[in-house]
Amino acid sequence: MKYSSALKIFVANRIPRHLYYLASFAFAACLVLMGVGPFLPIWVPLQWGYYCPPRILLIIAITVLLFFRYFVARSHNQCVKRRTIAFRWLLLGLLASPIIAGVISKSLAIKQISDYGDYLRLGSYLSKNGLEGLLQLDAWRPPGMAFILAIPLKLGLTYNQAVWSVNSLSLVLAVAGLSHISSGLQVERTRGITAVLIAIPLVALFLTIAASEIPAFAIQMLTIALFPMDKLTLKAVSAWKWLAAGCFTALAALFRPVLLVQLLALTVSAIFVCGMHCSTWTMRLKRIGIAISLIFIGFGVTMAPVTLRNYHKYHAFLLISYNGGEVFYASNKSAEFDQQGKYLPSHYRELRNEIPDPLKRNAIGFKRGLMAILKHPFVFVNSFPFRAGMMLGGLLTWPADYIGHANLSKIEPALLTNALQSVCLFSGWVILLLVGKSRIIIMNAIKRRFVEHWVLWCFIMVLISSMCFECLPRYSITLVPYILATIVFSVRAYSLEHPEV
């Protein structure tokens, strides 16, 4: 069938017209904003000149995949083989284009501020002082980003080159993990949507800022890729995968400590899954015990070096870092609805002045934060939609916590890339709706008892845990892996049960 005929059938029979226009408008808006952004008035904070080359190539690639998603399904077998080869080259180019463009663009000149600058400072300290620096490193922030940045800095790269290299590696690992997850989509008509799913993390990940969420994203994707994609649950999972899942969870927590709840999600899933299809309670308890033990062994072995280093420096138990209590307290103390979920300076300065010892401040911060929640529980619970709006702003809206700045023109361009991510990610979800039958796909996922799958547990736990602390748009990046995996499982289940669609 000719491409023109296939396109007519596709548009006429499969795409709701309003969704088609919405997706087209979103992509066009991206290209227009990126093209004219550098020439807009100073009061419009759209300095896309830093990011134009990699993201224009990326949006063009996603647009191509949008319109060619349907063609492979209607082709002759010989043509399918030839186009599958071309499809793989397209994915390779999709992966390489932002990396290559990043080298030649101005994105290597971004100034790192706030915690991004702290990670670079700590990484530089490690690269210059070696083992002695490792033992004396301050544990205010999670050490994962400092550890990984120290390697390229030790090799002589500049700050921005080091950040770019770390983020590019994270990009490759994330796409590799998602490609493995999507490999179960063997039905020809679902391969195009696989490409779209692979394209979405590129938009979320390729930032030239030293954000710890970016490597954490890659580790999360690799963790999900450990488990079999030919089943919708974790049945028949080999022992080494439970062990590796514990190791990867510890690694992810070194970048984002809130991902410690992934350990609990794996444990809950192991109880549900390993206890199924056992003839006796003895066998059931044995399988559950082995799986949980392997998870915690992998976690403990990976986390032990960091915890022992902390004990050597502070002579007290500290799992990862000591800023969690302060952030928890500052984000929950206020009884004002619109002050919930914000890391307020007046609150954390009060705690710092009163308790100078960092480890005691960490413990007391958690205690006082919990007491504040119990003091005004209704404010805390009712603030969750507000907190979710702030945190999910990086996915669906403008970053909510940057809107209140008095002078938006002074905000670093690196922070404002959330706006472009928002449009691209929203376009990605629209593309998924273009598959049609989206409501049936969701109901199919529920009917297949997705509650058994640990990805759903992770999404719920990470979302709730994140909203109990400071709610920033970039923190929502750690939710995207679970969303992508659930979409892949749902689409595959639907395509296998309804081959006629």
Burial classification of residue 106, based on how many CB atoms lie within 10 Å of its CB (0-12 exposed, 13-18 middle, 19 or more buried): middle
Q: How far is CA 102 from CA 160, 210, 213, in A?
A: 11, 15, 19
Q: In terms of Cα–Cα distance, which of 216, 182, 215, 224 is closest to 199? A: 182
Give, in order, the Cα–Cα distances in Å from 226 to each of 29, 177, 239, 488: 37, 9, 11, 15
- Residues 256, 469: Cα–Cα separation, whole Å: 12
Residue 266: predicted pLDDT: 85
Q: Residues 387, 340: contact at Cβ < 8 Å?
A: yes
CA pair distance 417, 400, nearest whole angstrom: 13
Distance CA 281, CA 181 (A): 33
Q: Are 417 and 37 in contact (CB under 8 A)?
A: no
Distance, in Å, from the CA atom of 224 to the CA atom of 265, rounded to the nearest integer, reads: 12
Tokens read off for 185: 């989509």
Cβ atoms of residues 309 and 330 within 8 Å: no
CA–CA gap between residue 333 and residue 325 (Å, rounded): 12
- Using CA atoms, how far residue 6 sits from 49, 62, 81, in Å, is 38, 19, 18
Burial annotation 189-208 (CB, 10 A radius, 16+ → b, else e): bbbbbbbbbbbbbbbbbbbb
Q: Taking Cα atoms as reference points, which of 148, 175, 178 lies closest to residue 163?
A: 148
Which token pair is 162?
């080091």
Q: Report the alpha-carbon distance of residue 197 to residue 428 in Å, rounded.
A: 8
Number of other CB atoms surrounding residue 104 within 10 Å:
10
State the Cα–Cα distance between residues 253 and 215, nearest whole angstrom: 11
- What's the CA gap between 331 and 321, in Å, rounded? 17
Which tokens belong to 54? 């990699």
Give the count of beta carbons closer than 10 Å to the beta carbon of residue 157: 17
Residue 253 CB partners (closer than 8 Å, separation 6+):
142, 259, 260, 262, 263, 303, 320
Question: How confident is the model at residue 301, as a pLDDT?
Answer: 93
Give pLDDT, residue 399.
34
The residues of the chain scoring below 70 in pLDDT are 1-114, 183-208, 228-237, 275-278, 337-338, 389-390, 392-453, 487, 489-501
Q: Are 162 and 121 in contact, with CB atoms under 8 Å apart?
A: no
Question: Quick one: pLDDT at residue 185?
Answer: 56
Side chain identity at residue 92, one-letter code: L
Residues 224, 454: Cα–Cα separation, whole Å: 9
Could you give phi then psi for residue 186, rounded to 5 degrees?
-85, -20
pLDDT for residue 25: 52
Number of domains in the chain: 1
DSSP 157: -
CA atoms within 13 A on the CB side of 313: 23
Q: Please spell the DSSP secondary structure of 364-404, one letter per residue.
A: HHHHHHHHHHHHSHHHHHHTHHHHHHHHTHHHHSS-GGGTT
Quick one: three-class SS letters along 103-153? HHCHHHHCCCCHHHHHHHHHHHHHHHHHHHHHHHCCCCCCCHHHHHHHHHH
pLDDT at 38: 39
* Phi–psi pair at 44, nearest 5 degrees: -95, 115
Q: How far apart are CA 142 and CA 132, in angstroms?
A: 18
Q: Determine the Cα–Cα distance for residues 337 and 380; give it in Å rounded to an integer.
A: 8
Which residue range(s) make up the domain with 286? 3-497
What pTM value is reported for the model? 0.73
Q: Give tens-digit pLDDT for 237-277.
A: 677 888 999 999 999 999 999 999 888 888 887 887 776 66
